[in-house]
Chains A and B, each alone.
Chain A
Amino acid sequence: MRRLSDFLVLFAGMIALWQGLHWIEGDTVLTSPVATIARLATLMSAGPFWGHVAETGTAFAFAVAISLIGGIGIGTLLGLNRTSAIVSEPILIALYSLPKVTLYPLVLLCFGLGISAKIAFGAMHGMIPVAIFTMKAIMQIKPVYWRTAQALRLTPPQIALTMALPAVLPEVLSGARLGFSLSLLGVLIGEMFASKRGLGFLITSAMGLGDTATILAVALLISVFAIAANAGLFVLQGAVQR
């Protein structure tokens, strides 16, 4: 209970800080919290905004789906063999920490301007952490589980479903959490750089117009969505671990 009230105090403090900065800096730099929410409401009441949301949402949904399926697939294939896992781990980590933005022109040249380039770019961001976490989870399954499965003469599908899946699920879910946020980042950066639709485009076009209220309103919407989704996956992970 005290934790909750502390958190609420912190939250109120952050809003107060935002309001204070607004008073110091003025409307052109930072719109006030109330004005931002009002702008978000006006945006939401107009038709074109939902077109942008739908565009980003579709690109993001495909990117996450590809990241999860591809990442778990690659992670499983590489994790099942010790040598392949040791060989590929530094390569995957190098790919993970690479500033992938530099590769966006390459994606654009391969996929053309449009939704498929954004999906590919989002999946590029999300797939690698999912693969790394899946691979590590499979490598770290306790040897006694494998021996038990052998002793019980489980068939490969039975091993996968009753032993391997429950053993790796918590780790895979933390990978999925990371993949989820990074796919969102990838899709948004893609839209900010070269696109005529989507929330990222809305932010860059507002930047060109010096329209801080719209930038903040869209940023607020995306932040709330990202934090809520992250918290949801966190709760799911906690439920699985028990």
Chain B
Amino acid sequence: MTREGRIRLFVVAGLVGIFEVLCRSGVIAHTVVIPPSEMARSLWQILISGAHNADIVSTFLNVLISSALAISLGFAAGLAIHALPRLRAAIEPLLASYYAVPTFMFYPIFIVVFGVNARAIIAIAVLLSIVAMIASTLTGLDRIPAVLRKTARVFRMSVPVRALLIDLPAAAPHLFTGAKLAFAYALIGVIASEFILSGQGIGYSIAYAYNNFDNREMYGLMLLVIIVAVTANAGLDAVDRRLQARLRR
């Protein structure tokens, strides 16, 4: 582990420790935040008892379905937009300001269309994550070095062969960045939708526990979301960094 990594671990552990002491000593009231150790114990009990297994499975299933849809549809849309330069010039300003609009406002519309169920949640999560994938696909295709294209021509490759042997591997690091972002956005979209209005899922359970003043359960589930989000994103980020480093070689 690098020196910075050790300091980082120390800083995070220190912050959690300070938090624990503040909660235990009553500076932060027990009704507001429970100590981190108690959150961990609550999470452990939730996982052992299996009380929320159905919620956990439904949330992660929705996240996986939405990211898969966003990645495949976003990739296809990116290819199409890249192939049509005129459409691209017109659509690019819209893509650039897409994330300025809080897409989440349209969740109620999907509820009216699909009803309160997984389809409305998946629709909003896909809407939130697809543009990141489209943008990354465009960058990936743009950054394919001209020399690789020329090499393909020298070898007289047909278009499908070139796409498979040259374009895809050359664009892969950027595509992976897109997939990583799509996953992060899908996770946010699914949990936020469950939180606002739904009948199942981790987000729903947290909102339910909040409304019933069940702080122990609420913080246990919050810890679960934090742990899953941080590990998943850090894992994807590590792979991403490796691929990006390969680009610079």
Interface residues of A (CB under 8 A from B): 3, 6-7, 9-10, 25, 28-30, 83, 86-88, 90-91, 93-94, 97-106, 108-110, 177-178, 180-181, 184-185, 188-189, 192-193, 200, 203-204, 206-207, 210, 212, 215-216, 218-219, 222-223, 226-227, 229-231, 234
- Which residues of B line the A interface, CB within 8 A? 3-4, 7-8, 11-12, 31-33, 86-87, 89-91, 93-94, 96-97, 99-102, 104-106, 108-109, 111-113, 184, 187-188, 191-192, 195-197, 202-203, 206-207, 209-210, 215, 218, 221-222, 225-226, 229-230, 233-234, 237
Q: With a CB–CB cut-off of 8 A, which chain B residues contact A219?
A: 105-106, 109
- Asked if residues A91 and B12 are in contact (CB atoms below 8 Å), the reply is yes
A193 and B196 in contact (CB under 8 A), knowing A101-B191, A185-B104, A218-B105? yes
Decide if A102 touches B105 in the complex (CB within 8 Å).
no
Given A91-B8, A204-B108, A234-B97, 15 more pairs with CB closer than 8 A: A7-B93, A10-B90, A90-B237, A99-B191, A99-B192, A102-B191, A105-B218, A185-B104, A212-B109, A215-B105, A222-B101, A226-B101, A227-B97, A227-B100, A227-B101
Cβ contact within 8 Å between B113 and A207: no
Q: Which residues of B contact A29 (CB under 8 A)?
A: 109, 112-113
Q: Which residues of the other chain, B, contact A98 by a CB distance below 8 angstroms?
A: 226, 229-230
Residues of B within 8 A of A97 (CB): 184, 188, 229, 233
A residues within 8 A CB of B102?
181, 184-185, 188-189, 222, 226
- Kindly report which residue of chain A lies nearest to residue B202, judged by CB atoms: A102
Q: Which residues of B contact A184 (CB under 8 A)?
A: 100, 102
- Residue with the highest number of chain B CB atoms closer than 10 Å, among A102, A206, A215, A229: A102
Q: With A91-B12, A97-B233, A98-B229 in contact, is A3–B197 under 8 Å at CB?
A: no
B-side contacts of A9, CB under 8 Å: 90
Give 16 A-B contacts (CB < 8 Å), ordered by A residue: A6-B90, A7-B89, A10-B91, A87-B8, A90-B234, A101-B192, A102-B191, A108-B210, A177-B100, A188-B105, A192-B196, A204-B108, A222-B105, A226-B97, A226-B100, A230-B100
Q: Which residue of B lies closest to A206 (CB)?
A: B108
- Smallest CB gap from A82: residue in B: B4
Q: A87-B7, A93-B237, A105-B207 are in contact. Are A3 and B97 (CB under 8 A)?
A: no
Given A3-B89, A29-B112, A87 contacting B229 (CB threshold 8 A): no
What residues of chain A lie closer than 8 Å to B195, measured between beta carbons?
101-102, 104, 193
User: In the bound complex, do residue B113 and residue A87 qualify as a contact, i.e. CB atoms below 8 Å apart?
Assistant: no
Known: A99-B187, A105-B206, A192-B196. A94 touches B104 (CB 8 A): no
Are A207 and B203 touching (Cβ within 8 A)? no
A102 with B226: CB separation less than 8 A: yes
Chain B residue nearest to A186 in the complex (CB):
B102
* A139→B134 CA distance, assembly (Å): 30
Provide the residues of chain B in CB contact with A181, threshold 8 Å.
Answer: 99-102
Cα–Cα, bound, A180→B12 (Å): 28
Which of A109, A210, A218, A229 has most chain B Cβ within 10 Å?
A109
A29, A86, A192, A204: most-surrounded residue (chain B CB, <10 A)? A192
A94 touches B233 (CB 8 A): yes
Chain A residues whose CB sits within 8 angstroms of the CB of B94 once the complex forms: 10
Which of A3, A93, A94, A200 counts the most B-chain CB atoms under 10 A from its CB? A94
Cα distance A231–B98 in the bound complex, in angstroms: 11
Residues of A within 8 A of B7 (CB): 83, 87
CA distance A9 to B225 in the complex (A): 43
Which of B32, B90, B105, B233 lies in contact with A110, CB distance below 8 A? B32
Residues of chain A with a CB closer than 8 A to B196's CB: 189, 192-193, 204
Q: A83-B4, A91-B12, A226-B100 are in contact. Are A105 and B210 (CB under 8 A)?
A: yes
Contact call A193/B207, Cβ cutoff below 8 A: yes
A223–B102 alpha-carbon span in the complex (Å): 7
B11 touches which of A87, A93, A102, A104 (Cβ 8 Å)? A87
Q: Contacts of A30 on B, CB cut-off 8 Å?
A: 109
Give the shortest distance, in Å, between B207 (CB) and chain A (any CB). Answer: 7
**Given A6-B89, A102-B203, A219-B106, A231–B97 Cβ distance below 8 Å?**
yes
